[in-house]
Amino acid sequence: MTSTTRDNKDNRRHRIEKAGAVIFALSIWQMGAMLLNESLLLVTPLTVLRRLLTLCTEADFLSAVGFSFIRIVFGFLLGLLTASLLAVIAGRFYLAEVMFWPFMVTIKSVPVASFIILCLIWLSSQNLSTFISFLMVLPIVYTNMLQGIKSTDTKLLEMATVFQVGWPKRMKYIHLPHLKPYLISASSVSIGLSWKAGIAAEVIGIPDGSIGEKLYEAKVYLSSGDLFAWTLVIILISISFEKIFLRLLNSLFAKMEGS
């Protein structure tokens, strides 16, 4: 059996396992809703699906999704780039690592709600989700990237110095291959967190035309169907963006390693 055939079988098995897990989760949800028998507290999956299909036909659905998507994704990308740059500086200069430490610890420790309320004093609600997403991504990517930089094989770096290997080749053959798993892992974790924090910021700040505003309205009008439907939208967008971004990131690394 070739490795390609084996990989295809493994991928097929994983897909079947994931599909089975989803069906199991939906079954538990359905049974819970039937046992509770109170739609105000827990609606059935079919009710949520119907409401989701209805939402997709409403005029402001795409605008709400676009509003939140653009701001949260921009905050994520800004946090990713900033954290990577700070990690490189901290890895090169120990004093910078010491100076960055209290900021990173504070961001990781302070509750998201505290940041949101504080930032509402400084920023408009329209830009709140961008800044909160940026803050949540920053320490995760910074910590992972710094760890990757510190764990780079010193013998390889010494060899590169002895043979006077230039910075571009060092980056291509030593640093990038080593940092790849750290960056991918940090991105995978921080994408989901950026969506959680960004939507939470919108629910509190209630910017007009956002998904957060829709969730707030669902709470005000006690519409569990809308609440679950919009939550499902957030999950689908977050998972889709994560898969697309990680695929692009892997493709970028593959091109850089192959060039």
Residue 249: Cβ-neighbour burial (10 angstroms; 0-12, 13-18, 19+): middle
Domain ranges of the chain: 1-37, 42-258
R_g (Cα) of the chain, nearest Å:
22
Chain-centre distance of CA 220, in angstroms? 28
Q: What is the pLDDT of residues 198-233, one digit of tens each?
A: 999 999 999 999 999 999 999 888 888 899 999 999
Output the pLDDT for position 244: 94
Say if CB 137 and CB 76 are below 8 A apart: yes
Q: What is the pLDDT of residues 92-138, one digit of tens each?
A: 899 999 999 999 999 988 888 888 888 888 888 888 999 999 999 99
Domain 42-258, CATH among 3.30.450.20, 1.10.3720.10, 2.70.70.10, 3.40.50.1980: 1.10.3720.10
Say if CB 185 and CB 242 are below 8 A apart: no
The answer to whether residue 141 scores a pLDDT higher than 70 is yes
Positive or negative: CA dihedral 242, 243, 244, 247: positive
Q: What is the pLDDT of residues 37-86, one digit of tens each?
A: 877 778 888 988 999 999 999 888 999 999 999 999 999 999 999 999 99
Q: What pLDDT band is residue 161 in, cutting at 50, 70 and 90?
A: low
Q: What is the pTM of this model?
A: 0.87
Q: What is the pLDDT of residues 162-200, one digit of tens each?
A: 656 666 666 666 667 778 888 899 999 999 999 999 999
Indicate the SS3 state at residue 206. coil
Measured distance CA(66)–CA(82) in Å, rounded: 24
Structure tokens at 119: 């930032």
Long-range pairs for 155-160 at CB < 8 Å and ≥24 separation? none
